[in-house]
């Protein structure tokens, strides 16, 4: 369950972290997520629960901090939900307290990613609010979404940002082809991030074995550098982004463009994360 830290101590830690970062701040003018001290402990890590009562990216969306929308079940699995509060839909996101960098990131998830609503996105990714100029926010992605196409069943996508800022860079995103069976039930997804190569792998079930491997993809320095343009600012040209001093892992469940989710089943979307692991290089 969500536990509470001393609010002022937590704010002091955040301020000191910001002072130690030398990179340019993220340009979009949206306010940062609320730092009220709410944390959830999951899979050996503490996670900040995003939400400050204002519209925030991605989407933009309102983000819920309610325990009924972000909670641990009796197995220790983390649940994220999209639900209504006073008639307004709220998405959910958690952000690792620990800073992370090059290394291997692994998530074991559970859900129906075949018949998911077409305007819902599941994000398993890295981010750094202080590396826009140098590294386009240090974002490496594993995502599930139909991206507005209701007939799309193959929802898994790998990507390294920037992908679609002012123009679309097709070589920086990969949607594995093949059976969609891995996207309904339990599956495990990982990427290894280095300064010269990012490699993704997806496995059916909760075990990481060659027999369970279904999809993989690599992105290396042979690709052209790209510029991220956002909020009237431009980053340096980027091939493989580097992590910054404040890079962390994030998990979110959010609504495209922030409008009401398309829910034919009548059941609000829910993501179950069974396990997360990070191994530094």
Q: pLDDT at residue 71 above 70?
A: yes
pTM: 0.87
DSSP 12: H
- Is residue 29 pLDDT above 50, yes or no? no
Please tell me the predicted confidence (pLDDT) of residue 183. 85
Structural domains in the chain, CATH included, are 2-280 (2.60.120.200)
Write down the pLDDT at residue 1. Answer: 54
The pLDDT-based confidence of 10 (bands split at 50, 70, 90) is: very low
Q: Which tens digits make up the pLDDT trace of 158-184?
A: 999 999 998 999 999 999 987 677 889
Residue 174: count other Cβ atoms within 10 Å of its Cβ: 18
HSE value, Cβ hemisphere, 13 Å, CA-based, for 154: 9
Residue 166 has what pLDDT? Answer: 85
pLDDT over threshold 50, residue 23 = no
Spatial separation of the C-alpha atoms in residues 132 and 247, rounded to whole Å: 12
Asked whether residue 17 carries a pLDDT value surpassing 70, the answer given is no
Cα separation, 145 vs 157, in Å, equals 8
3-state secondary structure of 87: coil
Mean pLDDT across the chain: 86
């Amino acid at each position: 369950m969500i536990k509470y830290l001393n609010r002022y101590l937590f704010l002091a830690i955040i301020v000191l972290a910001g002072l130690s970062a030398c990179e340019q701040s993220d340009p979009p003018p949206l306010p940062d997520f609320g730092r009220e001290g709410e944390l959830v402990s999951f899979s050996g890590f503490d996670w900040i629960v995003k939400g400050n009562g204002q519209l925030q990216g991605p989407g933009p969306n309102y983000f819920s901090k309610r325990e009924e929308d972000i909670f641990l079940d009796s197995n220790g699995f983390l649940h994220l939900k999209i639900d209504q509060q006073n008639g307004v839909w709220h998405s959910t996101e958690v952000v690792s307290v620990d800073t992370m960098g090059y290394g291997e990131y692994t998530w074991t998830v559970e859900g129906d990613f075949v018949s998911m609503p077409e305007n819902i996105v599941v994000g398993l990714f890295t981010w750094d609010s202080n590396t826009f100029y140098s590294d386009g926010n240090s974002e490496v992605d594993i995502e599930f979404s139909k991206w507005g196409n209701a007939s799309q069943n193959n929802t898994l996508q790998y990507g390294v940002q920037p992908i679609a800022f002012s123009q679309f860079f097709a070589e920086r995103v990969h949607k594995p082809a093949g059976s969609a069976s891995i996207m309904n039930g339990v599956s495990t997804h990982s990427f290894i991030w280095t300064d010269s190569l990012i490699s993704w792998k997806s496995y059916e079930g909760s075990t990481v074995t060659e027999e369970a491997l279904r999809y993989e993809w690599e992105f290396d320095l042979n690709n052209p550098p790209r510029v991220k343009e956002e909020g009237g600012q431009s980053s340096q040209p980027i091939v493989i982004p580097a992590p910054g001093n404040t890079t962390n892992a994030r998990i979110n469940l959010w609504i495209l463009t922030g409008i009401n989710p398309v829910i034919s089943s009548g059941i609000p979307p829910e993501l179950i994360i069974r396990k997360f692991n990070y191994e530094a290089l």
